[in-house]
Structure 1
Amino acid sequence: MNRKIVFPTNEHQGLLSKRDAHFGRANFYTVVELSPEGKTVDVLVVKNEGHKSSGCGGAVENICILGADALIVSGIGGSPLQGFARKGLAVYHDNISVSVEQSLNAFLANQLTLMQPDMSCSHH
C-alpha cells in the first residue's frame, strides 16, 4: 500500500520546494506518494486553505483530507499536534532539511523523530 507524506512548503516546486517552518502558515502542502518500497510514485502540490474560522482544527482537517500517512514539520503547536494524534497521523520533526527532497531522504533513512508534546510550540 502506498503512503502519502506531507510537507508544508512556501513554493510550488515539487521535491525542490523549500520547506516552511510551520505547517499552518505554509503557502502549500507538498504531498509525496511513496510505494511500499519507498520509491516516489507521485508529487502533488496543494494550496494551503489556511485555518479559516475553524482554527487549528481546520488545519488538521486540511492535512487529513489529503490522505496523509505522515506530516513532517519544523514546528507545530500543541493543539494541532494533539489533533493529529487523535486522527492517528504521525508527525515527524525535521528542523535541518531545507528542501522537501532533503527531508524526504532523511525520513526514508529513519533519521527523523516523532514529535512529542514537549517539542511543540508553546504559543498555540
Structure 2
Amino acid sequence: MTIERIVIPVIEDAGLNSRLSEHFGRAPYFMVIEMSSEGEILKVEAIPNTSEHFGGFGRPPDRILQLNPTVLITYNMGPRALNMFQQARVTVLRANALTVREVIEAFKRGQLEELTEGCRKARSLF
C-alpha cells in the first residue's frame, strides 16, 4: 500500500476542520495527513510552524521538508519556496477550498491543479 503524506498550511489546530492559511510561510501550523492509495485517511496531525517566522530556526520550506511530504497543498507561495519543493520532488498543488476536509476531498477527486509558478507578490524571505 502506498501512503501519501500531505502537508497543508493552516491557521488553527482543528483537525480536518482546520482552515487553510492564506500565508504559506506564516501559517501557525502545518497539518500532516497520511492517506492510503485507496483514499483512506490514516493519520491527521498538526505540527507547529517552528520556522524563523515564529521565533525558531530555518525557513518554512526547510521545516516542511523535515516532515517528508509527498504532496503540499497551499493557495500560493513565492517562486523560491516553490523551486525548493520542486527540487525535492514534492508535488505542490493549489488549494481550492477553505478547510482541510474540503481540500482533501478535492484532492481525492483529482480536482487540484499543480502549482507551477510562484506568486511574484510574495515577499522574498531568503
Structure 1 length as normaliser, TM-score? 0.89
What CA RMSD, in Å, does the superposition of the two structures yield over aligned residues?
Answer: 1.4
Distance change (3 Å), C-alpha of 1:121 and 1:16: farther
Q: Give the paired residue count.
A: 119
Looking at secondary structure, tell me which structure has more helix per residue: 1
* Displacement of 1:75: 1.4
Deviation string, structure 1 residues 56-106 (Cα, Å, up to 9, x no partner): xx2112111112110000110011000101111110002x31100000101
Give aligned-pair identity as a percent.
27
Write the letter of the residue equivalent to 1:13.
Answer: A
Write the letter of the residue equivalent to 2:121.
Answer: S
Aligned pairs (5 A) from 1:28-43: 28-43=29-44
* 1:99 counterpart residue number: 99
* 2:13 counterpart residue number: 12
Distance change (3 Å), C-alpha of 1:40 and 1:14: same
Write the letter of the residue equivalent to 1:120.
Answer: C
Gaps of 5+ in 1: none
Aligned pairs (5 A) from 1:34-73: 34-51=35-52, 54=58, 58-73=59-74
* Displacement of 1:40: 0.2
* Displacement of 1:120: 2.3
